């Protein structure tokens, strides 16, 4: 059997793709997983957390902002795209995946979900000298990617081991970032301005998160594809 990766999708309002709401996942994620030899199972709001026992890994993708109430903060006027149903779905699935020992790869918003789940907090708006294209919904330029920002990884971390390097360039499209790191997580990657770009969970489980979007350039950048390749390899170890 092929390795199966669970991906919670976002709800797209009715009228954009049809007369009913649609649960969607970016095609680039599916392409990166397919090249790594896995198949994706997309789920939406209402999916019970125990579904994690039927899959081999969990992928958390980019999207709107996490509700600041989840980390005890008032809403900044620049926070947007909050979806309580998506928060409920992803935090529930993540808790279940962590309890089951599933490998987890968390991208952009996914990193922020992971950090909050571990008790951390977020900067609700990042404004630094690094050129980033802020995320927005819907995307103003369909099909485009964010600017490529240099990321430095700690030698010996899981990501550096996966990509075979300690420096890479990732596509950035976000306006929030880690503030206080959650207990049980360690920072393993940063941009030149100090923004946290990668974290890993302590312990033996393969729990890895990146603030950039490796799926954007994985089809042409072996280092970005290698992140998905290693995630699938780790997840495959759980397959029967």
Alpha carbon distance 227, 214 (integer Å): 8
Of 108, 174, 197, 234, the active-site residue reads 108
Residue 86: what pLDDT?
95
Angle at 65 between CA 176 and CA 35, to 5 degrees: 85
> Residue 160: enclosing H or E segment and its boundaries?
helix 158-163
Q: For residue 126, what pLDDT is reported?
A: 81
Quick one: pLDDT at residue 90? 98
Residue 215 bears catalytic tag: yes
- Per-residue DSSP letters for 89-131? HHHHHHHHHHHHT--EEEETHHHHHHHHHTT--EES----SS-
Q: Write the CATH number for 76.
A: 3.40.50.880
User: Annotated catalytic, 108?
Assistant: yes
pLDDT of residue 134: 53
Q: Would you state the pLDDT for residue 39?
A: 96
What is the reported pLDDT for 137?
42
Query: For position 230, what pLDDT does the model report?
Result: 98
What is this structure's pTM? 0.93
Which entry of 90, 200, 215, 234 is annotated as an active-site residue?
215
HEC assignment per residue over 75-92 = CCCCCCCCCHHHHHHHHH
Q: What is the pLDDT along the chain (240 residues), one digit of tens a residue?
A: 789 999 999 988 888 677 888 888 999 999 999 999 999 999 999 999 999 999 999 999 998 899 999 999 999 888 888 999 999 999 999 999 999 999 999 999 999 999 999 999 999 988 755 455 554 444 556 677 877 889 999 999 999 999 999 999 988 888 889 999 999 999 999 988 788 999 999 999 999 999 999 999 999 999 999 999 999 999 998 755
* Domain span including residue 105: 3-236
Quote the number of domains for the chain: 1
> Whole-angstrom Cα distance, residue 235 to residue 226?
14
The one catalytic residue among 172, 174, 175, 213 = 213
Least Cα distance to 117 among 83, 54, 70 occurs for 70
């Amino acid at each position: 059997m092929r390795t199966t990766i669970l991906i919670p999708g976002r709800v797209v309002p009715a009228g954009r793709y049809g007369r009913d709401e649609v649960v969607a996942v970016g095609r680039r994620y599916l392409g990166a997983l397919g090249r790594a030899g896995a198949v994706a199972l997309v789920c939406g709001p209402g999916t019970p957390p125990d579904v994690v026992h039927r899959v081999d890994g969990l992928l958390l993708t980019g999207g709107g902002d996490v509700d600041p109430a989840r980390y005890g903060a008032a809403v900044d006027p620049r926070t947007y795209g909050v979806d309580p149903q998506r928060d409920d779905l992803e935090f529930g699935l993540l808790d279940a995946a962590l309890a089951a020992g599933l490998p987890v790869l968390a991208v952009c918003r996914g990193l922020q979900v992971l950090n909050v789940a571990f008790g951390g907090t977020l900067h609700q708006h990042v404004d630094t000298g690094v050129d980033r294209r802020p995320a927005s919904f819907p995307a103003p330029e369909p099909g485009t990617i964010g600017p490529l920002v240099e990321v430095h990884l700690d030698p010996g971390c899981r990501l550096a081991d996966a990509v075979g390097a300690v420096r890479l360039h990732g596509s950035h499209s976000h306006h929030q970032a880690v503030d206080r790191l959650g207990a049980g997580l360690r920072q393993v990657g940063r941009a030149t301005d100090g923004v946290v770009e990668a974290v890993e969970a302590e312990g033996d489980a393969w729990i890895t998160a990146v603030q950039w979007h490796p799926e954007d350039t994985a089809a042409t950048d072996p280092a970005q594809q290698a992140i998905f390749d290693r995630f699938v390899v780790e997840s495959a170890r759980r397959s029967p």
